Amino acid sequence: MIHSQWMEAKETLQRQNRLYLTNVASFLGKYFDGYENSIREMARIAADQHKFEGTPESVHALRSWLIERLRILPDAISVIHADNNGHFIRLPYIEEKPDWDPRKEPWFAISIEDSDEAHFSISRDPFARKERVLTISLPVINGNDGANSGVLALNLDLDKIAEILNTAIPPTKSRTFIMTREGELVINPGYSINPAKLKSLARYTREYRGDFIMDSHYYAYRSVASQSWLVIHEVDENELNDLVWKQCSGLIWSILFLLVVLFFCWWATRAAMNAIFMRIATSIRKGGFKPAAVEELIYEEIQSSQQRQEKTAHEAMTDVLTGLKNRRAFDIDAARYNLEPHTYLAIIDLDNFKIINDTWGHTVGDTVLKTVSELGLRLRALDNISLYRYGGEEIAVLFQGLSQEKAQSYLEKWRITVNTRSFREKGLKVSFSGGLVRMGGASLNEVIARADKLLYQAKKRGKNNVIVSV
């Protein structure tokens, strides 16, 4: 049980880190896509309406149009329009460098060679005196004859992009950075990384399609920026194991406490039985043996011992706050249910529970969790529906011998009842999201993973809904 709990806690933390990385990569992807779409639109309009003809009128019109576009790009440092003859316009306007030829810049060369894609590169901006800027470059293609008349380049501030990584709050102590697939560092928010380590990471990302362990560190990665860069998330394995230990230590201490209680019950029962036997032996010796009285005494002692054991076992399998069965009871019941036909598993999670705790305090959060649990117990009205506090604000529900429609109906009735429940706190509205899957046909961990996946889909769809597997 301890090993299972340890592995499950570790997998949960890794899953949280993967989800965090996916969110960061998705945000960065949208961030880069937004600027890429902007420069694509600018290149199209520049090719059709603002040709670089070299006349004062055309230069003035192109410069005015570029500065209007630059004003609506908050993180842009500059925009450069360069033609194939080396003439260029750079905004904001800075005194031109007569010895600077844009055609010698890598972003110009790669855009001229490949006219289909926007290119992301790290370059130097000599005008703004910045050693490293993110340049998104795209050729200017004439819409009539397909001729390449030059390159349009947009320079972004790398410090602004690094702020995105710094402000994101990971689930565990970790480091997140961006590198190329060849092992070159692109964005590093405030810490040094060995170049040899980056090369090793690049090799591992080519060999592994998922997470991997390297040099006692756990790594996850996602693609970003037109699949040319990688967002790397690094977690020290010792840090991960410390968090897992903190989660599992409660189980270990609970088991030790339960063993002590069971030992005490055994000792108390043995002492009571010894006293009874001594009284029986004394009665026999003195001739005062009363069978009815002795049988009554033995019955009372055995019953008392059973009641103590039953109470201890009930407390060990029940969550104190909600009155639901606890995670340990779930592990036992779910393993058995997964071998039986017509069984279903649902995992629900209260929406915005952290906001409730932060806004009204943990006491109100406990009240909300307890109220939702009580409503679920009150509405079930069937012995073959079991509720468990799965962890935090998550509740697991096991259905035995019920159809999927009945299981779904119960969850929806529970969800609507929670939605309409009023609380004393002004503005407090409670809802939950969930996923319902059929059990059997796979290992218990795979069944739980499917339910978790549906739960995350319900969250992404706007929360306050239950998704059922098809």
Q: Catalytic site residues?
A: 393
Q: Which residues pair with 467 in a beta bridge?
A: 435
Q: Are 421 and 430 in contact (CB under 8 A)?
A: yes
Which token pair is 131? 């050693």
Q: Find all residues with CB under 8 Å of 437, minimum gap 6, and list them.
A: 344, 345, 346, 447, 450, 451, 454, 469
Q: Which residues pair with 123 in a beta bridge?
A: 133
Question: What is the distance between the terminal CA atoms of the chain, rounded to a whole angstrom?
Answer: 32
Rounded distance, CA 363 to CA 383, Å?
Answer: 31
Rounded distance, CA 72 to CA 66, Å?
Answer: 10
Rounded distance, CA 48 to CA 80, Å?
Answer: 17
